[in-house]
Amino acid sequence: MKKKWISLFLSLFLASSMIIAQEMPSDAAMAYNEGNKLLKAGNFDGAIGYYTEALKTSKDYRIYYQLGVTLKKQNKLKEAEDAFQNCIQQNPNFDIAYNGLGGAYFQDGKFAEAVESFKKFEELTKQKQHKDQAKEYVARSYVKLGEQSKKNGNYPKAIEQLGEALKYNQLDAAYILLATAYYESGDYDKAITTADQVLNLKSSGLKGAAYYYKGMGLKQKQDITKAKENFELAKRDAQYKRLADYELNLLK
């Protein structure tokens, strides 16, 4: 999970943290504010100590949120998940808590749970930028699920999950995985048309892969001339040069 997924919202939240802490009991507010200072300074153990102290006199959702962010920074994912869940229990409409929870789930490899958390984040947030980001996170979580299903040989499930990813965001990684799933399951026409989706994107770092799998699909359909053309284009990508050269040698 990219750190920016949480840090963006953390910075927005911390900007007003000293003010909102005044709504807490004084002892909790003091500990909460000290925890925020230490979090911003990178002293995560110290911040956790103060948040834990604050929770002794207040179960405020904001304390749980900051605790979750800090625990996640320490890669204590199960504890972070628990903190975000407690935050949501105290305030089910606190949108960025679902983002934090989704990020912890994603990093923990719990991609189905991440999907649901990011969907809830997208539902609750009012800002378009955040909605767009939430949709990207949902898509990336579905890509991971599709990747797992494909690895397990469950191509119908992988195709379904990758199709869901593309409903939320036109990720080139989703298209490539979908093209390979179609190819490996013998649907060469769909493999070709899906690879073309990547090639039609304005920018993508996966066009070498798209040319390669398009070439593989064309080879299976006995369109050798076009297959060679795509393998030649795939060669320009260092990652696919060896594979493309191998296929070209077979087609001589």
Q: Residue 56 maps to which CATH number?
A: 1.25.40.10
Percent of the chain with pLDDT over 70: 91
Examine residue 20 and state whether it is found in any structural domain, yes or no: yes
What does the pLDDT average to over 188-194?
A: 98
Q: Please check whether residues 18 and 115 belong to one and the same domain.
A: yes
Distance CA 154, CA 157 (A): 6
pLDDT of residue 12: 43
Examine the fold and report which residue of 68, 91, 122 is the final residue of a domain before the chain moves on: 122
Instruction: Examine the pLDDT at 56 and tell me if it is beyond 80.
Output: yes
Rounded mean pLDDT of 110-123?
A: 98
Across the range 33-42, mean pLDDT stands at 95
Range of the domain at 72: 4-122
CA nearest neighbour of 56 among 24, 19, 79: 24
Mean pLDDT calculated for residue range 220-232: 98
- Burial class of residue 142 in the structure, from the number of CB atoms within 10 Å of its CB (0-12 exposed, 13-18 middle, 19+ buried): buried
171: in domain: no
Q: What is the pLDDT of residues 130-182, one digit of tens each?
A: 999 999 999 999 999 999 999 999 999 999 999 999 999 999 999 999 999 99
DSSP state of 21: G
pLDDT band at 226 (very low <50, low <70, confident <90, very high): very high
Asked whether residue 10 falls in the same domain as residue 100, the answer is: yes
Task: Say if residues 251 and 219 touch (Cβ distance below 8 Å).
Answer: yes
Give a yes or no: residue 184 inside a domain.
Answer: no
pTM attached to this predicted model:
0.90
Which pair of tokens denotes residue 150?
């494909």
| Residue 223: Cβ within 10 Å count | 16
Both 111 and 208 in a single domain? Answer: no
| pLDDT band with cut points at 50, 70 and 90 for residue 195 | very high
Which token pair is 164? 């869901």
pLDDT tens column, 68-100: 999 999 999 999 999 999 999 999 999 999 999
Q: What pLDDT sits at residue 11? A: 42
